[in-house]
């Protein structure tokens, strides 16, 4: 994954609660998805643009089979989601 660890200031309480809720939503029925989603949340989400953050949150609304198909490149996501999924599948992810 081509994201740097976010070593900036501690997020505000509201942001920490939001991250905690997102971390819970990253827990899926497939361990493979758990790893990919949580890694993105920890490494990329804090420094992502608001548009990318919204796209990630939309991805979390998908059912596991559809999300896995996108990550495995067996299906093509809409352009709004494609950028986030590409970050999952970058070399070194």
Inside any domain, residue 78: yes
Give the pLDDT score at 4. 55
Tens-level pLDDT at each residue, the chain (93 residues): 556 545 455 556 688 899 999 999 999 989 999 999 999 999 999 999 999 999 999 999 999 999 999 999 999 999 989 999 998 877 444
Structure tokens at 51: 């548009």
- Number of domains observed in the structure of the chain: 1
Inside any domain, residue 1: no
Inside any domain, residue 4: no
User: What is the pTM assigned to this prediction?
Assistant: 0.81
Inside any domain, residue 7: no
DSSP 46: G
Q: How far is CA 78 from the centre of its chain?
A: 16
Distance CA 20, CA 22 (A): 5
Give the pLDDT score at 83. 92
- Its domain, for residue 29, covers 13-89
Give the pLDDT score at 3. 65
User: For the domain that residue 45 is a member of, what is the CATH number?
Assistant: 1.10.150.250
Give the pLDDT score at 2. 58
Distance CA 76, CA 22 (A): 24
């Amino acid at each position: 994954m081509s994201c740097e660890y976010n070593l900036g200031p501690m997020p505000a309480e509201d942001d920490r609660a939001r991250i905690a809720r997102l971390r819970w939503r990253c827990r899926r029925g497939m361990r493979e998805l758990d790893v990919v989603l949580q890694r993105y949340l920890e490494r990329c989400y804090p420094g992502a643009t608001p548009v990318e953050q919204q796209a990630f949150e939309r991805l979390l609304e998908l059912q596991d089979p559809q999300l896995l198909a996108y990550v495995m490149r067996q299906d093509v996501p809409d352009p709004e989601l494609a950028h986030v999924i590409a970050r999952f599948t970058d070399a070194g992810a």
